[in-house]
């Protein structure tokens, strides 16, 4: 016969294991995709490995991983935040206007500072290209 104590212990261990599996599935989804993903896209990929994964759990994990530096948010104007690995160095993004997916661009134009008005000093830049991806 199973006592209620045994039950509780089993349950809390299972919950901890489950939380670890959820987090690693979410991280793996972002590593495998190698492009910024919406929370819904993370859910679609991670749910293959963690059945019954919900969007609230995905959001909670994404938020925690942004706070600890594992992930970084990519926010395009008027769009829900996307998430990418925080370890990526300086890079840019391409958004497909057909499928709305966002891809990484690993090169960077070096002469952007020349665009600034005379006497202004450029300290940073943000650049997004728009067009059609190779699948569209
Ligand atoms: Zn596309
Ligand atoms: Zn750049």
Cβ–Cβ < 8 Å for 128, 94: yes
pLDDT at 89: 87
pLDDT at 13: 60
Topology of domain 89-136, CATH: Dna Ligase; domain 1 (3.30.1490)
Comma-separated ranges of CATH 3.30.1490.190 domains in the chain: 89-136
Listed residues: CB within 5 A of ion ligand 1: 96, 98-99, 133, 136
Ligand 2 centroid from CA 127, angstroms = 7
* Segment 65-74, tens digit of pLDDT: 999 999 999 9
Question: What is the signed CA dihedral for 109, 114, 120, 125, rounded to 10 degrees?
Answer: -10
Query: In the chain, which stretches have pLDDT less than 50?
Result: 1-6
1-86: which CATH number, 1.10.760.10, 3.30.1360.170, 3.20.20.140, 1.10.10.10? 1.10.10.10
**Cβ neighbours, 10 Å, residue 128:** 13
Global pTM? 0.82
User: Per the structure block, which two tokens stand in for 12?
Assistant: 């809390």
The radius of gyration computed from the CA coordinates of the chain, to the nearest angstrom, equals 20
| Element containing residue 130 per DSSP (H, E) | strand 128-131
pLDDT at 113: 86
pLDDT at 112: 86
């Amino acid at each position: 016969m199973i006592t209620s104590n045994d039950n509780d212990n089993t349950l809390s261990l299972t919950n901890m294991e489950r939380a670890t599996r959820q987090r690693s599935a979410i991280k793996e989804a972002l590593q495998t995709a190698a492009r910024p993903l919406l929370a819904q896209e993370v859910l679609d990929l991670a749910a293959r490995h963690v059945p019954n994964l919900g969007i609230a759990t995905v959001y909670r994990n994404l938020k925690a991983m942004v706070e600890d530096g594992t992930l970084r948010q990519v926010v395009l104007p008027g769009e829900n935040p996307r998430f990418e690995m925080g370890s990526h160095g300086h890079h840019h993004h391409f958004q497909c206007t057909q499928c709305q997916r966002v891809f990484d661009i690993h090169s960077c134009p070096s002469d952007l500072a020349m665009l600034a008005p005379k006497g202004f000093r450029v300290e940073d830049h943000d650049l997004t290209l728009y067009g059609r991806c190779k699948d569209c």
